[in-house]
Structure 1
Amino acid sequence: MQIIPVVDLMKGQVVRAVRGLRGEYRPVVSALCAGSDPVRVAQALCGYAGADTLYVADLDALTGGTAQAAVIRDLLAALPGVSLWLDAGFADAAAFDRLRDVLGEDGARVAPVFASEALATPGAACASLADRSGAILSLDRRGGRRMDPAGCWDRPEIWPERVIVMTLDRVGSFDGPDLGTLRDCARRAPRVTLIGAGGIRDEADLRTAQAAGASAWLTASALHDRRIPPRAPAAGQGTD
């Protein structure tokens, strides 16, 4: 099971996400490093997890503000061997294209995450997800309800090759992964690579999630608290 570390950015800091209650997020306190500086935290997470992919949630953009382009550029410069999956509340593909242009050359290492909570219309969803190998869809739900104005959950025919099953009320909760939703998505779209998010407590949860159909899991709190042991670097990653 691949671990994809997560940094949640808010006002230039990494915050600890808990149950999707964004108004209550506070700067992260981590056993892996001191402080909440995005570069320091991202380097610590990727080094500890041996990861060559980092998931970045720009909460300023997700809550209607401006994308933190300068912070994202800093992350790309500090992590040259790492690809970024970026969720910045993209309402459509044009919104991602504008941000990628601002990021410069390193923007080629950024994959857009189109969140079902943010995609504005069914047409925008179809156009944004048309690049099956490049785009990533996040199917978001909280409190048992789908966050999905564009109707992505009920249209597996438009899902790209990579789909995140995001149960926001389990993020940072240590309540265990949402295996029922994961299995339902695997049943409806067996060709899709599924990535889970939320609830992981330990290695045993990762094994159970893999058996349920996940190929990777977005993870933050379990890494910060060292509930999962360190991993060797991914192929092509350095050790310093």
Structure 2
Amino acid sequence: MRLIPVVDLMQGAAVRAERGERQAYRPLVSQLVPGHDPVTVALALCRHCASNLLYVADLDAIVDGRPQHALIAALLAALPGTELWLDAGFTDADAATALLARLGTAAARVRPVFGSESLASATALERCFATPGAGILSLDRRGATRLDAAGAWDRPALWPQQVIVMTLERVGSGDGPELQTLRALQARSPGTRFIGAGGIRDAADLERARAAGADAWLVASALHDGRLAPVA
């Protein structure tokens, strides 16, 4: 199973996620690297995981609609062989297209992540994935509450090939991964490749997630705390 490192960006800094409660996010403290410079953190994560894929959550864009264009461009420049999965609070496909246009040729290495908490409507959901491979869907949930104005959770016929299961209450929690939701979604859409997010504590949790059918998992806190060994 693939491990995908994550950088959360807020006001120009890499921050540590706390159960999806964004007002509680603080500048990152990591065993991998001193400080919270996003480029330095991203380089350290990709090196630690031997990964050519990085997940980036632009919280300024998600919360306030203010994408950090220059910072995203700096990450792309510093990681020339790396693909970015970018969640920048896209409300529809046009919003993603507009941001990518500002990144120039490097945008070819960016795959937009359309979060159900951000998609504006069912129509926006339909248009996001009209072209195969156009992006990734994130099914967002906090506790028992689905964050889903577009109704994405209940429309598996519209899901793209890759879908993230974002259990926000587990992000940065150290509570372990929540796998019941993953299994339920697999039963509804067996051909979809599901990527989990939140709760991973150690290698044993990754193995449990793999056994549950996850294709990959987004991880940050366990990496920064030294609970996952570097990939050889």
Q: Shared fold (TM-score greater than 0.5)?
A: yes
Q: Which secondary structure state, in structure 2, belongs to the residue aligned with residue 139 of structure 1?
A: strand
Q: Report the equivalent of 2:180.
A: 180
Supply the AA of the counterpart residue of 2:133.
Answer: S
Q: Report the equivalent of 1:142.
A: 142
Supply the AA of the counterpart residue of 1:194.
Answer: F
Q: Report the equivalent of 1:90.
A: 90
Following superposition, the deviation at residue 155 of structure 1 comes to 0.5
Among the aligned pairs, what percent are the same residue?
A: 60
How many correspondences in the alignment? Answer: 232
Instruction: Output the CA distance in 2 between the equivalents of 1:89 and 1:130.
Output: 19
Following superposition, the deviation at residue 132 of structure 1 comes to 2.9
Q: Report the equivalent of 1:71.
A: 71
The superposition leaves residues 90-141 of structure 1 with CA deviations (integer Å, 9 ceiling, x where unpaired) of: 0000000000000011011000000000000000001012223231000000
Following superposition, the deviation at residue 64 of structure 1 comes to 1.9
Instruction: Output the CA distance in 2 between the equivalents of 1:111 and 1:177.
Output: 25
The superposition leaves residues 211-239 of structure 1 with CA deviations (integer Å, 9 ceiling, x where unpaired) of: 1110100000000011011113xxxxxxx
Q: Report the equivalent of 2:165.
A: 165
Name structure 2 gaps, 5 residues minimum: none
Q: Report the equivalent of 2:203.
A: 203
The superposition leaves residues 174-225 of structure 1 with CA deviations (integer Å, 9 ceiling, x where unpaired) of: 1011100000111111101110000000001001101111010000000001
Report if aligned partners of 2:54, 2:82 keep a CA contact under 8 Å in 1.
yes
Q: Which secondary structure state, in structure 2, belongs to the residue aligned with residue 66 of structure 1?
A: coil
The superposition leaves residues 59-105 of structure 1 with CA deviations (integer Å, 9 ceiling, x where unpaired) of: 00000231000000000000011100000000000000000000011
Q: Report the equivalent of 2:133.
A: 133
Report if aligned partners of 2:69, 2:103 keep a CA contact under 8 Å in 1.
yes
Question: Cα RMSD (Å) of the superposition?
Answer: 0.7
Name structure 1 gaps, 5 residues minimum: 233-240
Instruction: Output the CA distance in 2 between the equivalents of 1:48 and 1:125.
Output: 35
Report if aligned partners of 1:53, 1:83 keep a CA contact under 8 Å in 2.
yes
Report if aligned partners of 1:131, 1:160 keep a CA contact under 8 Å in 2.
no
Structure 2 counterparts to residues 83-122 of structure 1, below 5 A: 83-122=83-122
Instruction: Output the CA distance in 1 between the equivalents of 2:169 and 2:105.
Output: 36
TM-score by structure 2 length? Answer: 0.99
Supply the AA of the counterpart residue of 2:186.
Answer: A
Instruction: Output the CA distance in 2 between the equivalents of 1:176 and 1:24.
Output: 20
TM-score by structure 1 length? Answer: 0.95
